[in-house]
Amino acid sequence: MDGMNRNRIGPNAWLHHLQLTADEPEQLADYYARTMRMRRSSLCDVQMCEAPARRILFAKGPKRQAAFSAFAFETAEALAAYRARVMQAGLVPAASPSPLFDDTAFSTTDPDGNCLVFGTAGRDNPAPDDTPDARLQHVTLRSKSLPPLVDYYTDKLGFYLADVVSAEKEADMRTAFLASDPEHHSLAVFKADSRLLDHHSYELSGWDRIRDWADHFASLGQTLRWGPGRHGPGNNLFLFIEDPEGNWIELSAEIEVMREGRKTGQWVHCPRTLNLWGDAVMRS
């Protein structure tokens, strides 16, 4: 697996937005506007919720699926160089389905049928003091077979394999954490019995912000589903809630920022790996 020995940290793109499909996209957009403190609007034929550094689109479709995950480069030159890189790796870029990127954006589809979009965008200004920070940071998928996906993301897309969680035998991969920039992962995959969206995550500026968001959720009668805790891979603090259509939402802080030359980490598949503080939600 080529990604196991790479020293560079990904193509230097970040997760910019997601489009989720839902039975009731308008109601789900209402939930995110209220619960995640975002502004709601209509865009083309989809609903959008946005706030500084976070944007989620909602369209009609099956529950617990991401129609696409969109990654951004800061310049047109960086995007063009990346497009050439993926073509050299044997991929044929397709048109972008995202209304938030211009016509230089392109998409590609992984072996499980997950669509990834790459375009350009500027970095958002910091959130005003009266707006709680929560930067969209990673998306996590479920798959029946991880090795083909890991090969695709590392060999074809140039993502860096930050950490691997395996069962008794090293070949029995249960979780893979993949980075598109120096943050520990912008995309992860869990082995499970179905192909679904597992969760998406927002990075906060510190532990006290996790407290503030938990207080906000409590004020809405929202029950925490998992956490607070601390992951082993990535070392980030976390808590999870669940939206009305079953999508899990993570609030995270202190995620590892990797340095050049960092080797791929190996972890044992057990609850303490996913939560150094105690119990874990095991997908397989």
| Averaged pLDDT of the chain | 94
Q: Look at 79-83, 130-134, 222-226 and tell me which has the smallest mean pLDDT.
A: 130-134
Query: Cβ–Cβ contacts within 10 Å for residue 143, how many?
Result: 23
Residue 25's nearest CA partner among 63, 54, 75 is 63
Residue burial 68-85, b: 16+ Cβ < 10 Å; e: rest: bbbbbbeeeebbeebbee
pTM, whole model, 2 decimals?
0.95
Give residue 66's identity as a one-letter amino acid code. A
Q: CA 107, CA 117: separation in Å to the nearest integer?
A: 4
Q: How confident is the model at residue 3 (pLDDT cuts 50, 70, 90)?
A: very low
- Does 229 score more than 60 pLDDT? yes
- Does 96 score more than 60 pLDDT? yes
Q: CA 174, CA 240: separation in Å to the nearest integer?
A: 20
Calculate ∠ Cα 77-73-154, nearest 5°. 100
The tokens describing 124, both together, are 């958002």
Residue 201's nearest CA partner among 136, 265, 145 is 136
The tokens describing 271, both together, are 């609850």
The tokens describing 20, both together, are 């989720």
Residue burial 188-200, b: 16+ Cβ < 10 Å; e: rest: bbbbbeeebbbbb
CATH of 1-122+133-284, one of 3.90.1150.10, 3.10.180.10, 3.30.1360.120, 2.40.30.20: 3.10.180.10
How much of the chain, in percent, has pLDDT values that exceed 90?
89
Check residue 262 and report its DSSP letter.
Answer: P
Q: Collapsing DSSP states into helix, strand and coil, what is residue 70?
A: strand
**Any idea where the domains of the chain sit in the sequence?**
1-122+133-284
Residue with tokens 């910019």: 16
